[in-house]
Structure 1
Amino acid sequence: MQKSLIVACAALALVAGCERRPAAPAAAEKGPIEVPAIATPAGGAPDSFAPIVKRVSPAVVSIDTLSVAQNDTPWLELLPPGLAGPTPVRRGAGSGFLISADGYVVTNNHVVEGATEMVVSLADGRQFPARIVGRDPPTDLAVVKIDGRDLPYVSFARSALPEVGDWVVAVGNPFGLGGTATAGIVSARGREIGETFVGYLQIDAPINSGNSGGPSFDLQGRVVGVNSAIFSPSGGSVGIGFAIPSDLAERVTQQLIAEGRVTRGYLGVGVQDLTPALAARLDARGRRGAVIVGVAAGGPAAGRLRPGDVVVAVEGAAIASAGGLLRAIAEAPPGAQLTLQVLRAGRPETVTVRTARRSDQG
């Protein structure tokens, strides 16, 4: 079986820590792959995506995994050793991309989760055994390491996220076929899928099983997203894919390389979107935000936030949804003091609260 993109069928639903390691050293001998500016006719597509694909493809990898398959017959575990037969093995395949000359590879958590063996294959045919540096299930990101030197690598886009309508080029390993490029546009930003710390880029560049963990590039060859999920009633591409945006992906991968895990802030609040009906009840008509529906006793927000408060901004940045508030809290380090703008019984107030460490992270 291949490790596939997490697929939402009928309804949108998204289908650990390792040893502490130092941050990846900067490679003085080699820089990231650079793509010359590509002329785009006014109102049209580039004449060709070939220059981008040729430049970035050497840094895109295929990841083949072996893992122990879940035993569907638990009674076999009761048999004496040797009588239960060989241990069932599951094979998986996904994608990833190099972000350093010495072999750090970004991919999806669901590609490598549970893997007992991993082999990373480069576009030039070289293969390397890999080990997990760190995984972050909440964002479905992971970093693995291969031992190499002067490897080709790409960089994350560090400017503003792409706009809706901007071109993207996805490169990956669909169905184990190897290097495959598709192109499309950003269809939407900030898509929320279930309970997640990710506001996804929605793209229509076709991605399929095996594209998991592969990059989506802008026209300058910079990684703008990590392909992670698709919406599909059939399991195949219908032009609705989801990519983890580069700003979040870079923050998470930096922490995974440095510490093997990601640390997040916590306030101890339950939240939900501000619906029109709630806005009418809470004197917040015409506003967007997140409604506090519960505050944990003894938690960081106890005595500062109240059920019924409508959070409209954190640190001056507007909050449009419950997911947006949860992401803002999670991205703050433990011990950070956050300034929240809230509507309380229709009146604007400013609340400061200090984050704690999420309890599920030690």
Structure 2
Amino acid sequence: MKQAGAALAGLLVLAACERPAETKLPQADAPSNAANAPALAPASFPEVYERVSPAVVSIYSVATEAPAAVIYDTPFGRVLERRPPVRSMSSGSGFFISAEGHIVTNDHVLGQAQEVVVVTTDERKLRARVVGRDPATDLAVLKVDGEDFPFVSFSRAANPRVGEAVIAIGNPFGLGTTATSGIVSAYGRNIGSAYVDFVQLDAPINQGNSGGPTFNAQGEVVGVNSAIFSPTGGNVGIGFAIPAALAREVTDQLIRTGRVERGFIGAGIGDLNPAQAQALGAPEGGAVIASLAPGGPAADAGLRPGDVIVQVDGEAIGEAADVIRRVSGAEAGARLRLRVLRGGRPVDVTVAPERRASPPQVR
């Protein structure tokens, strides 16, 4: 069973930087004017940076923590004090994915923002509107007015091997466009999200890097930087990025409809602790069905509370998040083959997930 999520929970830092305030759809195939379009052969990091960095932006989100207030002398109606609104600002990163001004960032970078300002590498300040947000994957899409923006295409998405070099670009601590380099450290990291298997990187990622991209040596998008593991709040060489393929799928849906559609089977699923796993005959782990929605796909398929899911389409299941990711990513019409333990005996069940859309998250 995977234990990484629990071990990391207390030390994860979302890579957004809090700072006090001072009072047309992307195409499936990379167009030739994408900043990373010519990325076919390995290049030096300076060459990669020169090509792709113009597509990276700094993002500043402004929220009102307390509205303006007037304090009166009640008996006489006199104004004793006028208090201005208390505003806060957070900074993060993002990057253009279309020439028409669509920008990818993390959902947590936006927070409760009433105003979002994007600063480009040539120091233009642009007001942005929120196209859509998906807290489940911590992704969001912004839009600024204009055209011919330099952008990178998710069709130039990469899945480099562990150990391959990468370059992360973002806005750490509000300093502006900054590049750091390292390697891909691991895949499939569970840091508490039921919908994302994170890519682990050792390129220095700090607060403010959230929402920025990481590229390989060909200038292909590896992922969207999202969090760091840190006992101190600073970089210790363990960062996490949302894989580019998932980011492309989510952002495409947000641009089209403003929300994300996922598969579901109508079952409450939980993890097994080691004692339960041994008692139920699943020493390698699994996910137990705790409840079923009447008339849902899982109930209709014959699954029962207490069943322990140990395989989906022949792949071993270590925890509930493994099942959720497989089900949520199922396409319309898909049928999943589940092997469950029921009373200690294996039973094979085929379930057809239905699709449902998340509620709109535009604020």
Both structures adopt the same fold (TM-score exceeding 0.5):
yes
Match in the other structure for 1:121: 119
Q: Look up the SS of the partner of 1:284 in the other structure.
A: coil
Residue 146 of structure 1 deviates from its aligned partner by: 1.2
Match in the other structure for 1:93: 91
Contact 1:105 1:143 in 2 (8 A): yes
Match in the other structure for 1:136: 134
Match in the other structure for 1:37: 41
Which is worse superposed, 219-228 or 332-341?
332-341
TM-score by length of 1: 0.81
Q: Look up the SS of the partner of 1:217 in the other structure.
A: strand
Residue 58 of structure 1 deviates from its aligned partner by: 0.8
Contact 1:9 1:234 in 2 (8 A): no
Q: Distance in 2 between matches of 1:181 and 1:14?
A: 19
Which is worse superposed, 315-324 or 333-342?
333-342
Is 2:312 aligned against 1:309? no
Residue 92 of structure 1 deviates from its aligned partner by: 1.7
Change in CA separation of 1:173 and 1:13 when aligned onto 2, cut-off 3 Å: closer
Could you tell me which of 42, 54, 58 is aligned with 1:58? 54
Match in the other structure for 2:18: none
Match in the other structure for 1:4: none
Match in the other structure for 2:297: 300
Deviations 1:248-287 (A, max 9, x none): 11110000000001122222323334555434322334x4
Match in the other structure for 1:44: none
Match in the other structure for 1:3: none
Match in the other structure for 2:4: none
Q: Look up the SS of the partner of 1:361 in the other structure.
A: coil
Change in CA separation of 1:338 and 1:92 when aligned onto 2, cut-off 3 Å: same
Which is worse superposed, 296-305 or 257-266?
296-305
TM-score by length of 2: 0.81
Match in the other structure for 1:162: 160
Q: Distance in 1 between matches of 2:334 and 2:40?
A: 41
Residue 216 of structure 1 deviates from its aligned partner by: 0.9
Q: Distance in 2 between matches of 1:267 and 1:153?
A: 38
Q: Distance in 2 between matches of 1:251 and 1:142?
A: 12
1:152 alignment partner AA: P
Change in CA separation of 1:359 and 1:295 when aligned onto 2, cut-off 3 Å: farther
Change in CA separation of 1:84 and 1:324 when aligned onto 2, cut-off 3 Å: farther
Structure 2 residues without counterparts, runs of 5 or longer: 1-7, 16-23
The CA RMSD over aligned residues, in Å, is 3.2
2:237 alignment partner AA: G
1:35 alignment partner AA: A
Structure 1 residues without counterparts, runs of 5 or longer: 1-7, 16-21, 40-47
Q: Distance in 2 between matches of 1:164 and 1:101?
A: 32
Is 2:294 aligned against 1:290? no
Contact 1:156 1:224 in 2 (8 A): no
Q: Distance in 2 between matches of 1:198 and 1:139?
A: 6
Contact 2:105 2:140 in 1 (8 A): yes
Q: Look up the SS of the partner of 2:83 in the other structure.
A: coil
Q: Look up the SS of the partner of 2:103 in the other structure.
A: strand
Contact 1:263 1:333 in 2 (8 A): no
Change in CA separation of 1:295 and 1:195 when aligned onto 2, cut-off 3 Å: farther
Contact 2:139 2:250 in 1 (8 A): yes
Q: Distance in 2 between matches of 1:333 and 1:13?
A: 32
Q: Look up the SS of the partner of 1:301 in the other structure.
A: helix
1:171 alignment partner AA: I
More strand by share: 2
Contact 1:14 1:193 in 2 (8 A): no
Matches within 5 A, 1:1-362: 10-12=10-12, 23-24=25-26, 30-33=33-36, 34-35=38-39, 37-38=41-42, 48-70=44-66, 85-156=83-154, 161-274=159-272, 276-285=274-283, 287-302=284-299, 304-332=302-330, 336-357=334-355, 361=359
Deviations 1:181-232 (A, max 9, x none): 1111222211112243111111111111111100111111111111111121
Count of residue correspondences: 337
Change in CA separation of 1:160 and 1:339 when aligned onto 2, cut-off 3 Å: farther
